[in-house]
Amino acid sequence: MNLKQRQNEFVDIFNSLEEWPNRFNYLMALSDELPPMPEHLVIPAHKIQGCMSNTYFCCTYIDDVAHIYGRSNSCIPAGLVMVIKEIFQGCTRDEIYDTLIDFHFRTDLIHHLTPARSGALLQMLYLLL
């Protein structure tokens, strides 16, 4: 599945939930699926700035393929990390550069997060590049 298809799949699932409490419950459920971040990556350089929780995010490229790591002590930011991981893990750098990243607008997620969480989401997306 390519990056556009992964975004479409997330948008379809997220938008099918209709009510925002259900959408936030979905994000919280995704946070439970987030694998542990390797301790050697939990460093100040990977801490998301401006996020009220302790959220760490790292994207590395091995053989030009994205590998996403993250963690948070709060379930919504952890769920956001998991969303990004599900959508972008395994994509090539070129695919990420060449694809319109818009799942957060098509779901209106960006407008329903607190300003700090919205900023954290945008910072994590920026760190993919």
47 HSE (CA, 13 A, CB side)? 9
Amino acid letter, residue 100: L
Q: Which domains does the chain have, with CATH numbers?
A: 3-127 (3.90.1010.10)
Q: Is 28 exposed, middle or buried (0-12, 13-18, 19+ CB in 10 A)?
A: middle
SS3 state of residue 66: strand
CB 124 within 8 A of CB 70: yes
Rounded to whole angstroms, the Cα distance separating 128 from 125 reads 5
CB 10 within 8 A of CB 83: yes
Instruction: Tell me the whole-structure pTM to 2 decimals.
Output: 0.97
Q: What is the mean pLDDT of residues 30-49?
A: 97
pLDDT tens-place string over residues 64-111: 999 999 999 999 999 999 999 999 999 999 999 999 999 999 999 999
Quick count: other Cβ atoms within 10 Å of Cβ 117?
23
